[in-house]
């Protein structure tokens, strides 16, 4: 079969097909030929005719069924894939095709899984409903922070920053993505001391508090760390899902643990940032959801990260849209946030999110406790529909925050 033989605009996808949407820019070849090349090289074809080709393989060919400008849609028969094996699926649809010489740019913009493949994965153990039940927070966004400075604090100071954030009103405290088990802050020591600080904060505030502990490591150590967290009363494990890899994430989801999975997307922009080449964050969100994370960073549209409002809304939708009964994932807003952004964030995300501010809490002029209080007050104001400036008149912590950071 030639590349062009993989193009059939009269084809209508079956319910059992896996559908991919690509942006394609060829070098010098006709676009339809190169579109066919993407379908061929990601299914049964290659660059030349073969003596080993058998007629019975043709029903396993991927088909380009729509070409609109540089946007194409390809249908893949589900027989091409091993159920429950995400590395296999991605090695096919997002593998060697990105390196084809005749392609100038290629971006996988979306993926639609058929029911049988989708249900071959476990999906979230808890999802949004489980997070709500664990935290006891049901009618507002959760208020969260990241320990800052992101690296360098010794264990005692790390735990103290966490305690101050919880005391001031945070529901959630998490490690940053590059905090692991460095000599200045060893993992086991950090777990013990920070969970003790959590318990103290719960006792003093009467609220449930959670600590998202970064267990990211080589596979066997990651399993050990997750066991250690659960044995010491932790409720969450945080995983840098792209740098650990999909197979590792799947293995962690398969563990017989009660821990929720918080998914950090460190490194995603290497794939997602270009609109012409790479993989859209929407795809990564759908993959992570099927494998089974409970919450996932999706961008902010208003902070320091590069995604637009439209992109963030699409990422959010990938987390929560109906998907064969698979639980929705809690979308996380994180990256350069402060109290003045809260109304916009609530407008974008609604109440089902965690608003995570690092510098926007610890950078408050009066310190972490007051910074956490200010963010909590901003959330309360937004949920009541009261403008921040007006609400801040009777809430000094928020008022001081708005003197430093503007209301968007």
Domains in the chain: boundaries? 9-118, 127-404
For residue 137, give Cα distances in angstroms to 85, 208, 289, 290: 35, 9, 22, 25
Q: Does residue 267 have a pLDDT over 90?
A: yes
Q: According to the model, what pLDDT value does residue 81 have?
A: 97
- Determine whether 316 is an active site residue: no
Do the strands 103-112 and 210-214 form a parallel or antiparallel pair, or are they unpaired? Answer: unpaired
Q: Which helix (H) or strand (E) covers residue 382, if one does?
A: helix 368-384
Do the strands 295-297 and 260-264 form a parallel or antiparallel pair, or are they unpaired? Answer: parallel
Question: What CATH class does 127-404 carry?
Answer: alpha beta
- Beta carbons of 393 and 385 less than 8 angstroms apart: no
- Evaluate if pTM is beyond 0.85: yes
- Determine whether 395 is an active site residue: no
User: Dihedral of CA 142/162/174/357: which sign?
Assistant: positive
The single residue of 158, 167, 209, 264 carrying the catalytic annotation is: 264
Q: According to the model, what pLDDT value does residue 303 have?
A: 83
- Give residue 192's region: left, alpha or beta (phi > 0; psi -120 to 50): alpha
Q: According to the model, what pLDDT value does residue 1 have?
A: 84
Neighbour order of strands in the sheet with 63-68: 63-68, 71-76, 18-26, 103-112, 278-279
Q: According to the model, what pLDDT value does residue 51 have?
A: 87
The single residue of 23, 73, 148, 174 carrying the catalytic annotation is: 148
List 24's β-bridge partners, or say none. 106
| Spatial CA neighbour of 347 closest among 379, 315, 395 | 379
For residue 189, give Cα distances in angstroms to 71, 158, 193: 51, 11, 6
Q: Is the peptide bond before 149 cis (omega within 30 degrees of 0)?
A: yes
Mean pLDDT of 32-49: 94
The percentage of residues in the chain with a pLDDT greater than 70, rounded to a whole number, is 100
For residue 396, give Cα distances in angstroms to 12, 371, 384, 391, 392: 61, 11, 18, 10, 6
DSSP states of 207-245? S--EEEEE--SSHHHHHHHHHHHHHTT--EEEEEHHHH-
Q: Does residue 306 have a pLDDT over 90?
A: no
- The widest CA-to-CA distance across the chain, in whole angstroms, is 80
Supply the mean pLDDT for the chain: 97
What is the rounded CA–CA span in Å between residue 281 and residue 285?
6
Q: What are the tens digits of pLDDT across the range 161-205?
A: 999 999 999 999 999 999 999 999 999 999 999 999 999 999 999
Pick the CATH number of 9-118 from 3.30.70.520, 3.40.50.1110, 3.40.1390.10, 3.30.70.150: 3.30.70.150
Mean pLDDT of 311-337: 97
More confident residue, 272 or 51: 272
- Beta carbons of 133 and 164 less than 8 angstroms apart: no
pLDDT-derived band of residue 305, with 50, 70 and 90 as boundaries? Answer: confident
- Beta carbons of 280 and 109 less than 8 angstroms apart: yes
Q: Which helix (H) or strand (E) covers residue 296, if one does?
A: strand 295-297
The percentage of residues in the chain with a pLDDT greater than 90, rounded to a whole number, is 96
- Beta carbons of 174 and 144 less than 8 angstroms apart: yes
């Amino acid at each position: 079969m030639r590349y062009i033989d993989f193009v059939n605009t009269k084809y209508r996808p079956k319910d059992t097909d896996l559908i991919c949407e690509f942006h394609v820019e060829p070098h010098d070849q006709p676009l339809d030929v190169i579109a066919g090349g993407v379908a061929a090289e990601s299914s049964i074809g290659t660059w030349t005719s073969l003596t080993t080709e058998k007629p019975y393989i043709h029903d396993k060919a991927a088909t380009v069924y729509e070409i609109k400008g540089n946007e194409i849609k390809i249908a893949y028969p589900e027989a091409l894939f091993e159920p429950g094996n995400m590395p296999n699926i991605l090695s096919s649809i997002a593998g060697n095709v990105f390196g084809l010489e005749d392609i100038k740019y290629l971006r996988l913009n979306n993926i639609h899984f058929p029911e049988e493949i989708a249900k071959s994965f476990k999906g979230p153990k808890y999802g949004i409903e489980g997070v709500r039940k664990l935290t006891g927070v049901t009618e507002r966004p959760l208020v969260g922070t990241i320990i800052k400075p992101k690296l360098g604090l010794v264990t005692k100071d790390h735990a103290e920053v966490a305690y101050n954030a919880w005391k001031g009103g945070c529901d959630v405290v998490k490690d940053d993505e590059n905090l692991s088990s460095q000599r200045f802050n060893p993992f086991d020591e950090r777990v013990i001391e920070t969970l003790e600080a959590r318990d103290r904060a719960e006792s003093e505030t009467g609220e449930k508090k959670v600590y998202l502990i970064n267990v990211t490591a080589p596979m066997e150590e990651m399993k050990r760390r997750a066991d250690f967290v659960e044995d010491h009363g932790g409720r969450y494990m945080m995983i840098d899902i792209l740098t650990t890899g999909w197979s590792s994430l799947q293995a962690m989801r398969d563990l017989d643990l009660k821990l929720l999975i918080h998914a950090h997307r460190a490194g995603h922009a290497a794939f997602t940032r270009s609109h012409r080449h790479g993989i859209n964050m929407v795809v990564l969100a759908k993959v992570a959801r099927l494998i089974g994370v409970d919450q996932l960073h999706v961008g902010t549209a208003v902070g320091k990260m590069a995604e637009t409002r439209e992109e963030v809304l699409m990422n959010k939708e990938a987390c929560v849209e109906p998907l064969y009964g698979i639980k929705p994932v809690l979308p996380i807003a994180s990256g350069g946030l402060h109290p003045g952004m809260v109304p916009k964030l609530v407008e974008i995300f609604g109440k089902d999110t965690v608003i995570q501010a690092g510098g926007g809490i610890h950078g408050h002029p009066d310190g972490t406790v007051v910074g956490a209080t200010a963010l909590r007050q901003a959330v309360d104001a937004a949920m009541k529909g009261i403008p921040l400036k007006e609400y801040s008149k009777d809430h000094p912590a928020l008022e001081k925050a708005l003197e430093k950071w503007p209301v968007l």
